Homo-oligomer: A and B are copies of this chain.
């Protein structure tokens, strides 16, 4: 059932890691963080539980990284990219992948499980926040600061509040009855970014 202890320190197998992350996502969506154990994930992935523990110290770390394999793909900007484009161009470039992600069943299921565990089991949100959400918020805050300097946003616009309004709206919309398909989510995201001031007003 368990990997030999002498395996510790051995170079990791990317395919094994990928199988473990896939299994972790599946079990997380099925049972939530409270119902997930490293043992179940190891069994689902067909590896020994020490193989999992060698790589991830806690189930929260494991699930956080597994979530990132789904939701991290549209984070393709560096600060250099941000500087080379206008705020509107950055938004336009980010929208198609964001719409596809936000309209996917996998995103809805993950968001529900993450938010759903935030009070009863706060450590998953804490790890995910620190490791994955904060770095992306810093990029978004940088974009918002540039947009403010260019006069696109009000001088008193609060970056944290604005990010919460944009992200919060998309998560809430994804969990409402009748979730949108990709085309409808793209329309919705445009309306959110326009309302936030990060896309130009509609021509009237």
Q: In the complex, which of the residues A130, A195, A204 has the most CB atoms of chain B within 10 Å of its own CB atom?
A: A195
Query: What's the dominant secondary structure at chain A's contact region?
Result: helix
Number of copies: 2
Q: Provide the bound-state CA to CA distance between A32 and B170, in Å.
A: 23
Contact pick for A118, options B158, B162, B175, B194, CB 8 Å: B175
Q: Which residues of B contact A161 (CB under 8 A)?
A: 169, 188, 191-192, 195
> What are 21 A-B pairs at a CB distance below 8 A?
A112-B116, A115-B115, A116-B116, A122-B177, A125-B175, A156-B204, A158-B195, A161-B188, A161-B195, A162-B195, A164-B169, A164-B172, A164-B173, A164-B192, A165-B165, A165-B195, A167-B168, A168-B170, A168-B171, A169-B169, A195-B196
